[in-house]
Amino acid sequence: LSSAISEVAKNFGPKRRISEKSIQSALRQVRRALLDADVNVEVADTLVEGVRKRSLGSEILDGVTADQQFIKAMYDELLDLMGGDSTLSPLASQQAKSVPAATLAVGTPEYPAVILLAGLQGAGKTTAGAKLALYLKEREVNYDMVDKDLDSAKMLASRLPTRNRKVLLVAADVYRPAAIQQLEILGKSIGIEVFSKGTEADPVDIVTEAIAKAKAEGFDTVIVDTAGRQVIDVDLMSELKNIKKVSNPSETLLIVDAMTGQEAASLTAAFNDAVGLTGAILTKMDGDSRGGAAVSVRGVSGKPIKFIGIGEKVADLEPFYPDRMASRILGMGDVISLVEKAAAQVSDEDALKMQQKMREATFDFDDFMKQSELVSKMGNLAGIAKMMPGVGNQLNMNQIRDVEARLKKNKAMINSMTKKERMSPELLITDSTARSRLMRITKGSGCRFEEGLQFMSEFQKMRTMMSRMQKSMGSAMDPSLAE
């Protein structure tokens, strides 16, 4: 799919606007590519129509070509479809990136949350039950996020299903003797209790008893593994309906194999009509899936994909991130970030003002601050470096992080300066009061004095470089001569 769409996009060339005419054949090809990737027809049509509306009349951003813009329209449409919020401003959407799509209902020992798993045989229900149990049992802090940005980590935590739960797994697949044993073995391996009554018991009774046990023993979450069939049949559905009636689940999740092709759509529709889904888990995403199932499931049911299975082991479960899935389907994460960054970039006006300043060599701390903000508007340095061909590999990521940390400190110091100091850097560099001023500033900003000295020396170098640059470049820097 990704290569087909990039082929289509290439045809736009370096135009300034995407026209009705240029887009028509492109959309036809995109539609075919979607169908080839096993996306359901109606879902594909909705998607194509959305891309058409989004692309038409959209002014092409500076530094971005029409084909990149087209890909971005595809991406935004996919993201919308999969439950991500792409209506945010470009900057906000940068921050909102990689937020999981959905949460799971939380129960209490008095009223445990029941999670009912449904799906065809072999879809991965039993495995998903154990994975989910382990996931909900564990208390986990996403150190990766905390390291980068505490706010996003908090936001992420607030949207993740509450962890640290007491979970009971219920073996309600009585048709395959091995199914109960399979769940018991899995449960044992992750320290989760499994409730079973053998193959003679009625699934509805098993579930009723399991919930009573959960209430009596203070479990807050009950995960019910049910039977599947090779195809959807009446017996399967009526059994599910009965289990649902007695268990009043807060979540009814469809377990779908990501490799399921076209049938993903009818499968989703059938289960949704019969038992009413609240979401889905897409399994076997570690395989060679074309992503069509993900698009179809969401498109047909309107219900979120909540988790993805990424391997056979019990730890191989991840929350579903709409943006990652959209990038994966298009295979063009880099293009998308590029367009987003271009959209977030400073206006030309700001850039011109900065050039003017440089020419007049009146570059002061306020300008330094603005310049740093331009850099942070572009996203973090590491992210930018990674996108630049060839650069990312050469630059040591630790070095980049050091630079970022220093920029942060510099900003703190500037914030501790008086207005006068910001506008007259001499006061901090050559003036007789420079030392005591710098002492006050470093103290006030929680930096070491040596860091203040280092900043001043860097600042001086930067200033000298700027004035040398304007001298040597002369008219080349003149915005009136620029195209």
Strand 279-283 to 305-309 pairing: parallel
Q: Which partner in ligand GDP, Mg ion, none is near 109 (CB below 5 to 8 A by kind)?
A: none
What is the smallest separation between the CB atom of 50 and ligand GDP, expressed in angstroms?
30
CA 324 from centre of chain: 5
Q: Can residue 100 be called a binding residue for ligand GDP (CB under 6 A)? A: no
- Among 40, 69, 126, 247, the residue binding Mg ion under the rule CB under 5 A is 126
String marking each residue 152-191 x if it binds Mg ion according to CB under 5 A: ---------------------------x------------
Q: Can residue 162 be called a binding residue for ligand GDP (CB under 6 A)? A: no
- Among 107, 112, 228, 291, the residue binding ligand GDP under the rule CB under 6 A is 228
Q: Can residue 286 be called a binding residue for ligand GDP (CB under 6 A)? A: yes
- Among 119, 249, 292, 452, the residue binding ligand GDP under the rule CB under 6 A is 119
> 100 or 124, CB closer to ligand GDP?
124
CA 253 from centre of chain: 21
Q: Can residue 184 be called a binding residue for ligand GDP (CB under 6 A)? A: no
Instruction: Identify which range of 126-134, 186-194, 256-264, 446-454 contacts Mg ion by CB under 5 A.
Output: 126-134
- Among 283, 301, 327, 337, the residue binding ligand GDP under the rule CB under 6 A is 283
Q: Can residue 118 be called a binding residue for Mg ion (CB under 5 A)? A: no
- What are the distances in angstroms from CA 128 to CA 220, 294, 306? 18, 17, 12
Strands (E), 134-200: 167-172, 193-195
> 121 or 208, CB closer to ligand GDP?
121
Residue 264 contacts by C-beta under 8 Å, 6 or more apart in sequence?
A: 38, 40, 256, 292, 293, 296, 297, 300
What is the smallest separation between the CB atom of 138 and ligand GDP, expressed in angstroms?
18
Q: Which partner in ligand GDP, Mg ion, none is near 286 (CB below 5 to 8 A by kind)?
A: ligand GDP
Supply 210's token pair.
């399991």
Q: Can residue 316 be called a binding residue for ligand GDP (CB under 6 A)? A: yes
User: Can you tell me whether residue 238 is helix, strand or coil?
Assistant: helix
What is the smallest separation between the CB atom of 23 and ligand GDP, expressed in angstroms?
37
Torsion, CA 191, CA 193, CA 198, CA 203, rounded to 10: -130
User: Can you tell me whether residue 100 is helix, strand or coil?
Assistant: coil
Per-residue exposure over 224-263, b if at least 16 CB sit within 10 Å of its own CB, e if not: bbbbbeeebeeebbebbeebbeebebbbbbbbbbbbbbeb
Instruction: Identify which range of 124-132, 297-305, 350-358, 453-461 contacts ligand GDP by CB under 6 A.
Output: 124-132
> 107 or 129, CB closer to ligand GDP?
129
Q: Which of 266, 168, 303 is nearest to 225 (CA)?
A: 168
Residue at 113: amino acid letter: A
Supply 366's token pair.
């306020």
> 311 or 333, CB closer to ligand GDP?
311
What is the smallest separation between the CB atom of 230 and ligand GDP, expressed in angstroms?
10
User: Can you tell me whether residue 318 is helix, strand or coil?
Assistant: strand
> 284 or 359, CB closer to ligand GDP?
284
Residue 425 contacts by C-beta under 8 Å, 6 or more apart in sequence?
A: 364, 365, 459, 463
Distance CA 24, CA 312 (A): 43
- Among 109, 122, 191, 302, the residue binding ligand GDP under the rule CB under 6 A is 122
Return the CA Rg of the chain. 28
Q: Are 314 and 190 in contact (CB under 8 A)?
A: yes
> 123 or 336, CB closer to ligand GDP?
123
- Among 84, 124, 279, 452, the residue binding ligand GDP under the rule CB under 6 A is 124
What is the smallest separation between the CB atom of 97 and ligand GDP, expressed in angstroms?
24
> 88 or 178, CB closer to ligand GDP?
178
Q: Can residue 311 be called a binding residue for ligand GDP (CB under 6 A)? A: yes
What is the smallest separation between the CB atom of 182 and Mg ion, expressed in angstroms?
6
Supply 471's token pair.
């001298």
* Helix, strand, coil distribution of the chain in percent, nearest 5: 60, 10, 30
Task: Give the number of other Cβ atoms within 10 Å of residue 301's Cβ.
Answer: 21
Q: Can residue 366 be called a binding residue for ligand GDP (CB under 6 A)? A: no
> 23 or 130, CB closer to ligand GDP?
130
Report the Cα–Cα distance between both ends of the chain, in Å, rounded.
38
- Among 65, 68, 94, 127, the residue binding ligand GDP under the rule CB under 6 A is 127
What is the smallest separation between the CB atom of 178 and Mg ion, expressed in angstroms?
9
According to DSSP, residue 425 is labeled T
- # of chain residues touching Mg ion (CB under 5 A): 3
- Chain residue at closest Cβ approach to Mg ion: 126
Q: Can residue 310 be called a binding residue for ligand GDP (CB under 6 A)? A: yes
- Chain residue at closest Cβ approach to ligand GDP: 309
User: Can you tell me whether residue 193 is helix, strand or coil?
Assistant: strand
Binding site for ligand GDP (CB under 6 A): 119, 121-127, 228, 255, 283-284, 286-287, 309-312, 316
Using CB under 5 A as the criterion, which residues of the chain lie in contact with Mg ion when the complex forms? 125-126, 179
